[in-house]
Amino acid sequence: MILLLIGSVYAHPVTFKGGTAVYSIHRPKMTHFQVNYTFHRHAAIATSYLRLDLDGQDQDVQAPIFHVNALIKRWNQIGSQGNIYGIAGVGYNLINTSKNTGLFAYTGLQLDYETPRIYTAIQGFSLLSSNMNEIPYGARYRFGIAPYVADYDELQIWMVGQLDHMSSMSFQPRFTPMIRLFYKTVLWEMGHDLKGIYWFQMMSHF
């Protein structure tokens, strides 16, 4: 049961064989929606929609992306788990201008460590294309604490602090305190950064 709880507290790019995960992240200048299906215990196929409203002219992104999520390494111990994930795929920017058109490569990396009371994670991604004036990239670090340990069929509450940076966006980096609610296979996150910019995430797997 402990390992089941640990595997549930964070949105993993790879879940369990035959599992499907759906999640969406929303901010005023960013939307990320993803559906992935784990066909092997170490790999999932996924499709995403990414919207980035960047500060520079002709740099905005509105793109469907098809990618593979891979579990590179996992450490299971009594009461804890660590993971390394890699992500690679291809997308197409629907905003076509003379300076910003065509296909791009999508890459990402995630490292996380979890126990029933704490978790920490670092993530990064980039969009690689010769047609883009600059290479958009983002990085995110989070640390969360659960005030109590809940069973699988009880509401889990987490207090989370997030520090993130997105290239070509003003007021970076951002620190966002948030609350995370997790019940069985459904997760909600809500918070505001120090400038009042909201963060909302919802995730479910089945």
Residue 112 has a CB neighbour count (10 Å cut-off) of: 19
pLDDT at position 1 is 38
CA atoms in the 13 A half-sphere facing the CB of 76: 6
- The pLDDT assigned to 2 comes to 35
User: Has residue 23 got a pLDDT over 50?
Assistant: yes
Among 20-29, 98-107, 150-159, 182-191, the minimum mean pLDDT is found in: 98-107
- Mean local confidence (pLDDT), 39-57: 91
Q: Return the CATH number at 112.
A: 2.40.160.40
Place of tokens 């790999």: 43
Provide the domain count of the chain: 1
pLDDT of residue 119: 93
| pLDDT higher than threshold 50 for residue 60 | yes
Residue 41 CB: number of other CB atoms within 10 A? 14
Cα–Cα distance between 140 and 195 in angstroms, integer? 17
pTM for this entry: 0.89
Determine the Cα–Cα distance for residues 140 and 112; give it in Å rounded to an integer. 12
pLDDT confidence of residue 98: 57
Range of the domain at 197: 2-205
- pLDDT tens digits along 109-156: 999 999 999 999 999 999 998 766 677 889 999 999 999 998 888 999
Kindly tell me the burial class for residue 130, based on how many C-beta atoms sit within 10 Å of its own C-beta (0-12, 13-18, 19 or more): exposed
pLDDT (tens digit per residue) in 157-206: 999 999 999 887 777 889 999 999 999 999 999 999 988 999 999 999 98
